[in-house]
């Protein structure tokens, strides 16, 4: 696909978003910006959550990684479904009962202002890094196939994308995002389906099936050695229970305890509508991930059939580059050479920008309510001054997003799906523990001890995971590429971890992190109460 065609696809895409942003943002006030005036349609929120939860990382990295992890990612997805049920029937009733705009206000009311700010801080950090990683992957692909051939530097490409996002989100906030995210989900699903059919056609699976030779494309996928789902080896990081429990915990933390995801749910008309949205989202996410993994099997079958090598993305070989290389480099459908690349560019854009655009609004919401307290009636600010603060924060987070994307560019990660999920295990652990303590205990730990322990716990989790030497070398990584800490631990524990033996820590490290935080909060509570008594 020529750069001019990619540019045309992006131009049409952003013209659509700008039109929606103008239409929905014309009369948006503070209530419209933060909670959509509590008038959002549940099915539209559910549809929008699909593209927000998928992101460009899922669109690119999940299919690309199938040759290594096979379909074991479905174990994580099953955990997601369980997590959505917990959100629907435990967290959403709490949020609606308390009539929250920022969900971290609950921590302030239940445990104290410092807990609210700690929770909001971890959300801001995690969402900023996660959104930057997602947006980086898309910009890297656009840089390779569009901006690079045009002679545009990477940092200029990033600025252009962020300015476009600002243009349609600055004024309307959540009121705009509910509509744009729903449209982006439709584009995402359509793009994936077009690419799946094109790959099946390119592999001649459809032609053989129609002639009665061989089996259906679906049966070919199921017969592939990459389509095995369950791993029962307890020492593997892909073990079912590790993946399932880790997936459930990540879903609860990254969706139910995430202002970015919950703010749209809180814009629904009622709790019942929000619950319908959450349940429907769970099963749609399950179905769409089946398509992503099927796509991955077909991508690698295509590489094998035509003896193609893993492409170079951002200067190094990367499985993240497989899908873009094939979609933009020659796949055709129905005799048209433009349809597949057009669908790919639109699908990738929809998957990425639905996540990146909403984060600017929800980070603004969190700082506005949790740190500045401007959502309170006694704030002393009039509407015009509040609007200036909102827009200043919105713009400030756009600048922060720009520098975080450059950070990922300098780090030059080859595959981002594990990076995004592992960042979540360290940053969402304290959030999970704070809400669990608030909901299920009567503890009231106070003071800066809470802040200190919530900062220390992710570090302890990292060192526990790092000490799992078996886990380090079982990932098949070149020792020369270890960072200094990994190299030190590798040589210190060459015969295995003194604590875990052959056990490999996977995504369940989120649960470990949350458990360490909760244990520390309990100790702080009992020490403070013992001192008082």
Tell me how many domains the chain contains. Answer: 1
Q: Is residue 524 part of a domain?
A: no
Q: What is the mean pLDDT of residues 502-515?
A: 79
Q: What is the mean pLDDT of residues 92-110?
A: 90
CA distance 4 to 146: 8
**What is the pLDDT, as a whole number, of residue 473?**
47
- The 10 Å Cβ neighbour count of residue 94 is 16
Higher pLDDT, 462 or 38: 462
Give the pLDDT confidence of 409-459 residue by residue, as tens digits.
776 554 555 566 667 778 888 999 999 999 999 998 988 888 899 989 988
Taking CA atoms, 437 is separated from 172, 445, 525, in Å, by: 35, 10, 11
SS3 percent helix, strand, coil of the chain, rounded to 5, is 75, 0, 20
**What is the pLDDT, as a whole number, of residue 420?**
62
What does 83-151 look like in DSSP terms, one character per residue?
HHHHIIIIIHHHHHHHT-SSTTHHHHHHT-HHHHHHHHHHHHHHHHHHHHHHHHHHHHHHIIIIITTTT
Asked whether the beta carbons of 18 and 167 are under 8 A apart, the reply is yes
CA distance 249 to 506: 12
Higher pLDDT, 498 or 511: 511
Highest mean pLDDT among 145-149, 274-278, 374-378, 498-502: 274-278
Higher pLDDT, 451 or 353: 451
CA distance 333 to 260: 37
Highest mean pLDDT among 198-202, 309-313, 318-322, 454-458: 454-458
pTM beyond cutoff 0.85: no
The CATH number linked to 234 is 1.20.1730.10
* Tokens (6 digits) for 110: 């239940």
Q: Per-residue pLDDT for 270 more than 60?
A: yes
Backbone angles phi, psi at 195, to 5 degrees: -70, -40
Highest mean pLDDT among 74-88, 290-304, 338-352, 491-505: 74-88
Give the pLDDT confidence of 459-493 residue by residue, as tens digits.
888 777 766 544 444 445 555 555 555 555 555 54
Asked whether the beta carbons of 120 and 363 are under 8 A apart, the reply is no
Three-class HEC string of 480-527: HHCCHHHHHHHHHCCCCECCCECCCCCCCHHHHHHHHHHHHHHHHHHH
**What is the pLDDT, as a whole number, of residue 296?**
86
Using pLDDT thresholds of 50, 70 and 90, give the confidence band for residue 332: low
Higher pLDDT, 249 or 356: 249
**Of 97-106, 136-145, 194-203, 486-495, minimum mean pLDDT range:** 486-495
Higher pLDDT, 419 or 86: 86
**What is the pLDDT, as a whole number, of residue 302?**
85
Using pLDDT thresholds of 50, 70 and 90, give the confidence band for residue 244: very high
**What is the pLDDT, as a whole number, of residue 375?**
65
Using pLDDT thresholds of 50, 70 and 90, give the confidence band for residue 30: low
Range of the domain at 204: 3-411
Q: What is the mean pLDDT of residues 183-210?
A: 81
**What is the pLDDT, as a whole number, of residue 89?**
95
Backbone angles phi, psi at 268, to 5 degrees: -70, 160
Q: What is the mean pLDDT of residues 257-262?
A: 84
Q: Per-residue pLDDT for 153 more than 60?
A: yes
Give the pLDDT confidence of 45-70 residue by residue, as tens digits.
877 777 666 665 667 777 777 877 78
**What is the pLDDT, as a whole number, of residue 264?**
79
Asked whether the beta carbons of 468 and 448 are under 8 A apart, the reply is no
Q: Is residue 106 part of a domain?
A: yes
- Which residue, among 394, 402, 465, 399, has the nearest Cα to 429 in the 3D structure? 465
Alpha helices in 203-321 (DSSP H): 205-210, 217-223, 240-251, 259-265, 271-305
* Tokens (6 digits) for 392: 């200043």
Axis-axis angle for helices 509-532, 448-466 (nearest 10): 150
**What is the pLDDT, as a whole number, of residue 523?**
93
Phi-psi category of residue 112: left, alpha or beta, with phi > 0 → left and psi -120 to 50 → alpha: left
- Which residue, among 466, 447, 465, has the nearest Cα to 520 in the 3D structure? 447
Please measure the distance between the N-terminal and C-terminal CA atoms of the chain and give it in whole angstroms.
Answer: 73
CA distance 38 to 249: 28
Helix (H, G, I), strand (E, B) or coil at 441: coil
Helix (H, G, I), strand (E, B) or coil at 153: coil
Asked whether the beta carbons of 126 and 428 are under 8 A apart, the reply is yes
Higher pLDDT, 422 or 156: 156
CA 328 to chain centre: 24
The pLDDT mean for the chain works out to: 78
Q: Is residue 424 part of a domain?
A: no
Give the pLDDT confidence of 132-148 residue by residue, as tens digits.
877 887 787 778 777 88
CA distance 55 to 381: 36
* Tokens (6 digits) for 197: 């059919």
H or E segment at 164?
A: helix 154-169
Using pLDDT thresholds of 50, 70 and 90, give the confidence band for residue 93: very high
Unique residue bearing structure tokens 């470990």: 512
Share of the chain above pLDDT 70, in %: 77
**What is the pLDDT, as a whole number, of residue 470?**
43
**What is the pLDDT, as a whole number, of residue 69?**
79
CA distance 378 to 262: 25
Using pLDDT thresholds of 50, 70 and 90, give the confidence band for residue 14: confident
Asked whether the beta carbons of 121 and 454 are under 8 A apart, the reply is no
CA distance 153 to 173: 30
- The 10 Å Cβ neighbour count of residue 471 is 21
Q: Is residue 503 part of a domain?
A: no
- The dihedral through the CA atoms of 155, 158, 159, 160 has a sign that is positive
């Amino acid at each position: 696909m020529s750069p001019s065609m990619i540019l045309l696809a992006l131009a049409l895409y952003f013209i659509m978003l700008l039109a929606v942003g103008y239409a929905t943002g014309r009369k948006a006030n503070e209530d419209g910006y933060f909670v959509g005036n509590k008038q959002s349609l549940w099915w539209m929120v559910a549809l929008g959550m699909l593209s927000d939860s998928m992101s460009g990382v899922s669109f690119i990295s999940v299919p690309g990684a199938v040759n290594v992890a096979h379909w074991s990612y479905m174990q994580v997805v099953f955990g997601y479904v369980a997590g959505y049920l917990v959100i629907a029937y435990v967290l959403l009733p709490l949020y609606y009962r308390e009539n929250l705009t920022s969900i971290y206000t609950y921590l302030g009311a239940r445990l104290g202002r410092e807990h609210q700010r700690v929770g909001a801080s971890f959300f801001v950090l995690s969402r900023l890094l996660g959104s930057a990683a997602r947006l980086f992957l898309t910009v890297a692909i656009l840089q390779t196939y569009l901006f690079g051939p045009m002679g545009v530097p990477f940092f200029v490409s990033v600025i252009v994308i962020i300015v476009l996002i600002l243009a349609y989100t600055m004024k309307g906030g959540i009121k705009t995002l509910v509509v744009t995210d729903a449209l982006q989900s439709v584009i995402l699903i359509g793009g994936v389906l077009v690419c799946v059919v094109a790959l099946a056609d390119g592999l001649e699976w459809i032609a053989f099936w129609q002639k009665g030779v061989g089996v259906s494309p679906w049966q070919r996928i199921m017969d592939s050695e990459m389509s095995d789902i369950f791993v029962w080896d307890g020492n593997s990081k892909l073990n079912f229970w590790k993946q399932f429990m880790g997936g459930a915990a990540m879903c609860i933390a990254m969706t139910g305890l995430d202002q970015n995801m919950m703010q749209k749910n809180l814009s629904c008309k009622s709790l019942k509508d929000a619950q319908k949205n959450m349940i429907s989202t769970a099963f749609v996410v399950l179905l769409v991930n089946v398509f992503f993994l099927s796509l991955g099997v077909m991508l690698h079958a295509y590489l094998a059939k035509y003896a193609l090598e893993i492409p170079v993305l951002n200067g190094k070989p990367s499985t993240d580059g497989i899908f873009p290389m094939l979609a933009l480099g020659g796949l055709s459908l129905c005799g048209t050479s433009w349809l597949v690349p057009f669908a790919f560019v639109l699908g990738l854009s929809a998957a990425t920008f639905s996540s990146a655009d909403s984060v600017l609004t929800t980070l603004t919401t969190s700082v506005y309510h949790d740190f500045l307290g401007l959502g309170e009636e006694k704030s002393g600010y009039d509407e015009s001054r509040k609007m200036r603060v909102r827009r200043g924060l919105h713009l400030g987070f756009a600048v922060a997003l720009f520098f975080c994307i450059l950070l990922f560019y300098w780090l030059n990660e080859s595959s981002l799906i594990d990076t995004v999920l592992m960042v979540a295990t360290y940053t969402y652990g304290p959030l999970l523990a704070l809400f669990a303590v608030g909901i299920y205990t009567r503890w009231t730990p106070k003071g800066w001890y809470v802040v200190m322990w919530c900062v220390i716990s992710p570090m302890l989790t990292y060192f526990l995971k790092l000490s799992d030497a078996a886990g380090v070398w079982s990932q098949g990584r070149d020792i020369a590429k270890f960072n200094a800490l990994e190299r030190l631990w590798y040589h210190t524990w060459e015969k295995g971890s003194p604590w875990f033996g052959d056990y490999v820590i996977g995504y369940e490290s989120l649960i470990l992190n949350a458990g360490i935080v909760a244990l520390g909060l309990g100790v702080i509570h009992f020490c403070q109460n013992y001192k008082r008594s």
